[in-house]
Structure 1
Amino acid sequence: MTNVERHQYILQQLAVQANVLVVDLCKALEVSTVTIRKDLKFLEGSGLLFRTHGGATKNNPYIRDRSVMEKEKMQIDEKLAIARQAVTYIHENDSIMIASGTTVQFLAAEIQPKGNLTVVTSSINVSQELMKHAEIDVIQLGGALRKSSCSVIGTNAAQMLADFFCSTLFLGVDGIDLNYGISTTNVGEAKLNRAMMESAHQVIVLADSSKFGRKSFGKIAELEKVDMVITDAGVSEFYKDAFKKQGVKLIIAI
């Protein structure tokens, strides 16, 4: 098989599944890892794909910071489906934690509390959404305001978490990468998210399928620290299989 034929095959696979692994390409094309890595480097240089750890993707895996007002207009149907699935994991007289992000804002809008519900949150928008319910006690973390996400970050917010332990943390992220883990665009927010994870019995990540195969500047945690990821039907079979192998529960919202 010529170089051109290999390149065409790689691009065809990416058109179908969005991500490819070096080991799978070696097996399918019967060539060495050195050859495949050279092919991927050439294709990346031609602007046809992005190399990742152990493979390649057709989507740019690196995320820039965007305002919450910009992000809340994206993947609306997917975020709504995810929120409606996520709300089923909130129980009567529960105590939960909600981080920042547009997907968790959709979750907040879907909450209809059974009994008394306590919510600890770093998001100003989540607090504003939940304050309409008399049955919900909202604890707003305090700290420096991060305007682009309309949420708080910093040591003051992290120190407040020492007084709480909740059943579940609902966490929005900007990227999910099988090797890098979950991430967000801001280091301060990533650090607070880690502290929130330590204060919750269960961590549920809410992320639409566009977040998969992407990574951002602020690493939150390895995937093994996550109990469940709720996403939409657009997630590829590649990630369904990968999550199963890693032992992370993946829920597809319909």
Structure 2
Amino acid sequence: MYAPERHSHILGLARTNGRVEVTTLAAELDVTQETIRRDLTALERRGLVRRVHGGAIPVERFSTEPAVAEREHTNAPEKDAIALAALRELPTHGSILLDAGTTTARLAALIPTDSELVVVTHSIVIANILSRHEKITLHLVGGQVRARTLAAVGPWSQRALKTIEVDVAFMGTNGLTVERGLTTPDLEESEVKRAIVAAARRVVVLTDHSKIGRNEFITFADINQVDTLVTDQASEPEILTELESQGVTVINA
């Protein structure tokens, strides 16, 4: 069994059982314990497992995704600045997709009342904000609503998003690295985010510095799918430079 196959097998076991042991894996895969330790180190570097004594635990066991009410007040000044800068990325006319999130909700609140945009969102919060804009044509994507994010997810949402194409998608993310792209802790939400990215001619990511350089459970977009990143002044300059080298336009709010 080649190393990538072992990595996939080990990760699957970790996610199924909640933990893997070095000794058990070595016996099962007929390799040395040192080989298994190197495999676990490689998986840890990719942000997929966390090493513990004698084995490893999948990172999702450690990760708790904050609810909307908690995130609303986290890095609030930075999110306000990002939303204000992102306002300049709105098309004059046309269509946009607004991903669920506290920063994208701030952007929604800043959209001028005389805008004649077509807006699609799967966020109840954003739909509520924009429902009072008489000139905006608002489409709310249906599906099962996640209580933690107040966003619709599931097959219904994905099917609807596959039938449309918009000028710009404004995305939130839980993590962003050059290597793994945009990541999130939740599988169902990742599928909807992936569908949003696929439905847009241009992708603008809104995220504060706390998400830059951070890895979460699952990737929903590669860096080469991101056109513009709007972030705040506290983001690591080295990472931003690396992102620009990959063709991403970086805006420091």
TM-score category, normalised to shorter length: 0.7 to 0.9
CA contact (8 A) 2:212 2:236 kept: no
> How far off is 1:92 after superposition?
2.3
**1:1-254 correspondence runs (5 A):** 52=45, 63-253=63-253
Give aligned-pair identity as a percent. Answer: 31
3-state secondary structure, aligned to 1:202: strand
The change in CA–CA distance for 1:162 and 1:106 in structure 2 (over 3 A counts) is same
SS at 2:103 equivalent: helix
Structure 1 residue 115 displacement after superposition: 4.4
Cα contact 2:94–2:118 (8 A) shared by 1: yes
Does the residue aligned with 1:112 lie in a helix, a strand or coil?
coil
SS at match of 1:129: helix
Residues 152-204 of structure 1: CA distance to partner in whole angstroms, max 9, x if unpaired? 00110111123321000000000002211111121111111111111110001
- Structure 2 counterpart of 1:45: none
Distance 1:93 1:82 in 2: 21
> What residue ranges of structure 2 are gaps of 5+ in the alignment?
1-40, 48-58
Whether the aligned pair in 1 keeps the contact of 2:94 and 2:167 (CA below 8 Å) is yes
5+ residue gaps, structure 1: 1-40, 42-50, 55-59
- CA shift for structure 1 position 216: 1.1
Contact 1:63 1:174 in 2 (8 A): no
- Amino acid in structure 2 at the alignment position of 1:159: R
TM-score by length of structure 2 reads 0.74
What's the CA shift for 1:80? 0.5
| SS of match in other structure, 1:240 | helix
1:93: Cα distance to partner? 2.3
Distance 1:192 1:98, change over 3 A: same
